[in-house]
Structure 1
Amino acid sequence: MSLPPLKRRRAPRGAGEQLRDEILDATTELLLETGHAKAVSIRSVAQRVGVTPPSIYLHFADKDALLDAVCARYFEKLDEQMQQAAADQPNAVEVLRAQGLAYVRFAMQTPELYRIATMGEGRPGSDVDTTLNSSAFQHLLNSVQALIDEGIYPPGDPTIPALQLLTAAHGVAALLISKPYLPWGDVDEFVDQTLSAACLGRVVLGLVDGDATPAQTVEWLLDRQPRERKS
């Protein structure tokens, strides 16, 4: 049995943005409570807010647009967490590492929102892609550029290495969320080691010949180990 919507006082002039935020809050709450986007409807959101469904459509064309807006706001909050984690880090490498760790931790705090935001059907030019490109990914791009400027990463376009690092963080987050029963051991330690390998691997690739095979890269590294470690 569904409950009737709560009576809501008429919003004062200029309060449309407040109602929009309430709609986004209600949608987010329902996603977290139900655990799946399919369980959330325009009607259930309207009921939670205390308005009629037509009031929702004044702000969002359909359910997809509403979910897009929720995910876009999610990426804004993700970016805030990543920047807070990166603040006051001693160098560019630690900034990049902190951003990756914050990314995975934030994803694990709200797995359903993360699934919808990153693993739903993509629509180029959507609010989700626009927000990601202008916030979290842009700051990641800036961190890679800083490493290039300092000579730590090899010169070139920072876009590909930034995407590679984003892929590593996303892969770790997605597997931890979808397969929590795998033998991860200490999760924080696993995440840190995996992302550190991704960050520092780029340094190694910049030191060896760009055409070197993995076997040649290993040989190059072994040749540079201290003699006592070889024996």
Structure 2
Amino acid sequence: MNFTPRQRSARGSGAELRAEILDATKKLLARSGHVDAVSIRQIAKIVGVTPPSIYRHFADKDQLIESVVAQVFEDLDAEMLAASDPNESPMERLRQQGLAYVRFAREHPEQYRLAMTPGETAGAVDQVLTSSAFAHFAATITECMNLGVIAPGDPVPVVLELWTSAHGIASLLIAKPYLPWGDVEAFTDRVMRSICVGRVVIDSVLGVDVSADALAEWAVQNRRVS
């Protein structure tokens, strides 16, 4: 395959070339829809370098893909922050963060799938996930606990509940887009609100040991009359 060689970089521009390689890989992932369809040779052609030039920045394709996914999830950090209005209550911000998480996953399906693939070691992707989505959820849930909206305690189990819900929604919307979801944003909002409200009711009203029958009875007694 023929391509125009990239002009020799000026000294100190290695970081710029690395960024170009990451950007080209990200675009190929988005266009091809699967990591197996992305090759070092393709990336080199887009950037305008030889394949060995890429190996000077990344040991192999796996390391390159991991770096791309990590970069994408750094963007998630910014989007979750942007979606959280500091003037809103912690519960409302929790809902906003959940919506931003699902929206981001839908917009970056291949990168999201790769990030959620089980691995034997905690690499750059896991570190980014822990420092962004997990950290934002945890901080907001801690605020809810401090206000007494959610029972005080270790926020980690609550974060995992919320994250499980957001991940489940995102994964199904990506894998089964043809199902009758209706308005996807509205559907996501209903599910996230249900999770948040359910946690508040169980913690603050009925107690964590409430049975399904007792919860149903409470719901009937307190049903809003139109």
Aligned to 1:171: 168
Task: Tell me the CA shift for residue 43 of structure 1.
Answer: 1.5
Moved over 6 A (4+): none
Task: Tell me the CA shift for residue 87 of structure 1.
Answer: 2.7
Aligned to 1:146: 143
Q: Which runs of structure 2 are paired with 1:94-133 in the superposition (5 Å)?
A: 94-118=92-116, 120-133=117-130
Task: Tell me the CA shift for residue 29 of structure 1.
Answer: 0.9
Tell me whether 1:187 sits opposite 2:184 in the alignment. Answer: yes
In the alignment, the residues of structure 1 paired with residue 84 and residue 172 of structure 2 have an alpha-carbon distance, to the nearest angstrom, of 24
Aligned to 2:40: 42
Task: Tell me the CA shift for residue 76 of structure 1.
Answer: 0.7
In the alignment, the residues of structure 1 paired with residue 104 and residue 210 of structure 2 have an alpha-carbon distance, to the nearest angstrom, of 37
Judge which range, 59-68 or 9-18, deviates more.
9-18
In the alignment, the residues of structure 2 paired with residue 11 and residue 149 of structure 1 have an alpha-carbon distance, to the nearest angstrom, of 54
Task: Tell me the CA shift for residue 130 of structure 1.
Answer: 0.6
Task: Tell me the CA shift for residue 221 of structure 1.
Answer: 4.1
Contact between 1:27 and 1:40, CA under 8 Å: does it hold in 2? yes
TM-score by length of 2: 0.93
In the alignment, the residues of structure 2 paired with residue 44 and residue 105 of structure 1 have an alpha-carbon distance, to the nearest angstrom, of 29
TM-align CA RMSD: 1.6
What amino acid sits opposite 1:137 in the alignment? F
Task: Tell me the CA shift for residue 206 of structure 1.
Answer: 0.4
In the alignment, the residues of structure 2 paired with residue 19 and residue 30 of structure 1 have an alpha-carbon distance, to the nearest angstrom, of 17
The Cα offsets for residues 116-160 of structure 1, whole Å up to 9 and x where unpaired, read as: 222x24243211001110122111111111111111111111111
Alignment partner of 1:180: what SS? Answer: coil
Task: Tell me the CA shift for residue 12 of structure 1.
Answer: 1.8
TM-score by length of 1: 0.91
In the alignment, the residues of structure 2 paired with residue 200 and residue 11 of structure 1 have an alpha-carbon distance, to the nearest angstrom, of 56
Aligned residues: 224
Task: Tell me the CA shift for residue 63 of structure 1.
Answer: 1.0
Aligned to 1:6: 4
In the alignment, the residues of structure 2 paired with residue 221 and residue 155 of structure 1 have an alpha-carbon distance, to the nearest angstrom, of 24
Aligned to 1:216: 214
In the alignment, the residues of structure 2 paired with residue 5 and residue 204 of structure 1 have an alpha-carbon distance, to the nearest angstrom, of 62
Which sections of structure 1, spanning at least 5 residues, go unmatched? none
The Cα offsets for residues 4-32 of structure 1, whole Å up to 9 and x where unpaired, read as: 23221222222111111111101011111
Alignment partner of 1:93: what SS? Answer: helix
Aligned to 1:204: 201
Task: Tell me the CA shift for residue 114 of structure 1.
Answer: 1.9
